[in-house]
Structures are given as structure tokens and as C-alpha cells.
């Protein structure tokens, strides 16, 4: 079972050296919710060492709320911020002879654009006008994934391994006790179900039918290293 694993990194936890060997790609925080020149440069160096694909992880420009809240911002200012965030990482990549593989939005921007038509099309337009030659990571089975395909974007459909889903394919709120998955066995079961049966199971037991091309673990998830080690052992058994 060949599986593409990605993680959001460069968020101040200093786990990149430990987590990178398990990944296929990483999405680097580039100044919107967290991140600066030094943190981006460090992640790029580690990813290059491990030959991991590197992407940008832009968000609402909101360091106080860590990009996890919808903020009041004009489309003009949001567009400028997203492009500046991505280009700040691209400049570092260019200096290190690396390419930008993808863009994956963070937090509230990721969640809202998955279901809000106007914001989804706003993000798609930014991609088409500025970054149409790279992949756009989008949540699988959502409005934005459908619209991105219709607009001929290069996409990779993503499923989270360390978050529970509601029956409507939205994420269980982080404020709830069952928001997180902290078990390599459950992570493996999700990959297996999506890959071989075409669905993931919501916390309610409902089946959400979709397909995925990459699976995400969050760098700030509890026990992320142990969970990845355990997941790798399950995957190795399947291989």
C-alpha cells in the first residue's frame, strides 16, 4: 500500500527532524499564522536533506488567533497577504535550489473555503492567476475540490488522519473531546478504508464516500511521532 503522507510544519514545535523521515511532503507555515525567514529556512533545509516535497501553508494573517478564526479582511488585502506568504517561501526555496510543490491553506481559511462558494472560487482564482503550475491541496469530497477540478487546477485531495469527521464531512470542532484521533491503528484503518473501500467513517458511524491522494497528520497533534512510527509499522506489514 503506497501512501502519501504530509504534515504542517514550521509552527514552532521543533519536531521537523524527527517527523520528516515519515513524510512524502510538508506544508510550511509562511508568516500568516506563524513562521518567519528563519523558521522557513530551517524547515526547507531539513526537507531537502530528506528529499521531501515542500509546500506553502498560508493562512488568514492572524498570529494572535493562530489562523484558526475567520477574520474581517477585504478580498484585496487577503489576496495580497496569501501571495506574499507564498512568495516569501518561494524566495527561500529558490535560494536553496528547491521547487515549490504545492499550496495548502491553513485553519479557518482551509475549513471555510471547503464549503463556501465565494471563498472557494476566490482561492481558485488566486491559484490560476499566480500558481497554476503547482498542486493545490484541497479537502477530499468537498465543494472546493469539485470546483478546482472544474477549473482545471492541479490538485491533490486530502484526508486528515488525526482528526475526527462529522457525518457531513466537516471536522469535529477542536473544542470537543473527540476532535482528535490518537491511535496509529485507527489512522491505518482510515487509510485502508479510503484506499480499498472508498469511504472514511465519521465519528457517528456514517460512511463518507470519497477518494484521497494524500493524508495529513498535524505537527502539533499529541504523540505525533509515536503515532507515525506505529502507522509506519502497519503500512510496512501491508507492503
Question: For residue 101, what is the domain's CATH number?
Answer: 3.20.20.370
Q: Is the pLDDT of residue 106 over 70?
A: yes
Residue 151 lies in a domain: yes
Model confidence at 27, in pLDDT bands (50, 70, 90)? Answer: very high
Residue 187 lies in a domain: no
CA distance 25 to 137: 11
Residues in contact with 113: Cβ distance below 8 Å, sequence separation at least 6, in sequence order: 105, 119, 120, 122, 123, 144
Residue 84 lies in a domain: yes
Q: What is the pLDDT of residues 151-202, one digit of tens each?
A: 999 999 999 999 999 999 999 999 999 999 999 999 999 999 999 999 999 9
Residue 100 lies in a domain: yes
Residue 30 lies in a domain: yes
pTM of the model: 0.95
pLDDT of the residue at 20: 96
Number of domains in the chain: 1
In terms of residue numbers, what domain contains 19?
Answer: 5-164+212-219
Q: Is the pLDDT of residue 75 over 50?
A: yes
Amino acid at each position: 500500500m503506497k501512501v502519501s503522507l504530509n504534515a504542517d510544519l514550521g509552527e514552532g514545535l521543533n519536531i521537523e527532524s524527527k517527523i520528516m523521515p515519515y513524510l512524502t511532503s510538508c506544508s510550511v507555515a509562511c508568516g500568516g499564522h506563524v513562521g518567519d525567514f528563519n523558521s522557513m529556512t530551517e524547515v526547507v533545509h531539513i526537507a531537502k536533506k530528506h528529499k521531501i516535497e515542500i509546500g506553502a501553508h498560508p493562512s488568514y494573517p492572524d498570529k494572535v488567533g493562530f489562523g484558526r478564526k475567520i477574520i474581517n479582511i477585504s478580498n484585496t488585502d487577503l489576496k495580497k497577504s496569501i501571495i506574499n506568504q507564498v512568495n516569501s517561501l518561494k524566495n527561500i526555496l529558490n535560494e536553496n535550489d528547491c521547487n515549490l510543490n504545492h499550496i495548502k491553506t491553513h485553519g479557518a481559511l482551509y475549513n471555510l473555503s471547503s464549503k463556501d462558494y465565494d471563498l472557494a472560487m476566490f482561492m481558485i482564482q488566486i491559484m490560476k492567476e499566480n500558481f497554476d503550475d503547482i498542486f493545490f491541496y484541497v479537502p477530499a469530497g468537498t465543494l472546493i475540490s469539485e470546483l478546482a477540478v472544474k477549473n482545471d487546477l492541479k490538485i491533490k485531495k486530502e484526508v486528515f488522519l488525526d482528526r475526527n469527521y462529522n457525518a457531513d464531512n466537516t471536522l469535529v470542532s477542536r473544542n470537543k473531546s473527540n476532535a482528535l484521533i490518537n491511535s496509529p491503528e485507527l489512522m491505518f484503518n482510515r487509510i485502508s478504508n479510503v484506499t480499498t473501500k472508498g469511504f472514511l467513517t465519521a465519528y457517528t458511524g456514517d460512511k463518507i464516500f470519497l477518494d484521497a491522494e494524500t493524508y495529513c497528520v498535524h505537527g502539533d497533534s499529541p504523540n505525533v511521532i509515536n503515532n507515525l512510527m506505529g502507522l509506519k509499522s502497519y503500512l510496512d506489514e501491508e507492503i
